[in-house]
Amino acid sequence: MHSFLSRRPARLVLTLLAGAAAAGLCLLLHTPLPWMIGPLIATAIGCMAGLPLVAATPLRNAGQWAIGTVLGLYFTPQVVGIVASHWAVILAGIAWALLLGAGFGLYLARANAGMALDRPTLFFASAIGGASEMAVLAERFGGRMDLVASAHSLRILLVVLTIPFGFQFAGLHGLDPTLPGPQVVEWHGLLQLIAMTAAGGAFLRWRGVSNPWVLGPLFVAFGLTATGVELSALPKWMTNLGQLFIGVALGTRFTPAFLHTAPRWLLSVGAGTLVMIALSAGFALGVAQLSGLHPATVLLGTSPGGIAEMCLTAKVLELGVPVVTAFHVTRMAAVVLLATPMFRWSAPKA
């Protein structure tokens, strides 16, 4: 048995089976996002307990492709007009993310004063968006990549667990529904859709763009749907598998060493994330009053979570998918593009 589990393919199969079993349990318990939250919790607990669970980058990419494609199919010509009419709110969401990140950074510096953390670590750990990009930038500027990566992993985990369960408890579901353009699976059209969206992801990956396997398929599906070209809907089993792969990819970040990574740091990140969620809820209520959008939609769009996870939550709970997607795509682009110049600009002047 030990020799069997020493092989990576066997460990991957074990991981996927555990994730699928956890998804089945969540379906029985009627939890929100069962195909993502179940595998995420199961693999995170298993990995921290020392089980030989692993993820595979191609599967994670496939999961992101499925989510990006299904999100793009929501952008019918009518929906594009609705999203465009909320451009001011979306810009406010970008400003909010930058402000929230700056405040989070100041809090982390105070809460961890005894650790003598360097400026790159604090700055890139507190940025809201582009988790993998922020870890790479932190290392480039001499920061601690392990602390930055752990901060983003814990932040995303807490947001994914807190907001969907909170919405389910409050009965927030289907309050701002938008139907995707194509709603019938046409197998010939589906093959074309898969080829075109995969090519979009591969192109952005080649160009070195952040989150290529979400954004490439999303932009291609967006372009097709917005111009009235409806090749096919995506089968539900594909989106379920996509959630499973993403949940496993998130959960396997939490290794046994994670629990021993500066406990004070992790505690401060966790407490700060919960405060950011609460602040974002207040911001969402105010923006909703001014814009006419539902507060739940604005909260999903402005919460400190990741693009795939929050947009997926909007899809499953039927809470304004296109608007939430627009919030996160523009925010991620702004954070990734502005992180380096803002870090340099904020350096103490000699």
Q: How far is CA 283 from the centre of its chain?
A: 20
Q: How sure is the predictor about 2, in pLDDT bands with cuts at 50, 70 and 90?
A: low
Dihedral angle computed from the Cα positions of residues 105, 150, 258 and 274, in that order, rounded to the nearest 10 degrees: 60
Domain borders along the chain are 59-246+261-345
pLDDT at 25 over 60: yes
Which pLDDT score is estimated for 131? 76
Q: pLDDT, tens digit, for every residue of 224-275?
A: 999 999 999 999 999 999 999 999 998 898 888 887 778 889 999 999 999 9
pTM (two decimals): 0.85
Least confident of 89-93, 129-133, 272-276, 308-312: 129-133
Percent of the chain with pLDDT over 90: 58
Closest CA to 244 of 8, 18, 10, 32: 18
First to last CA, the chain: 61
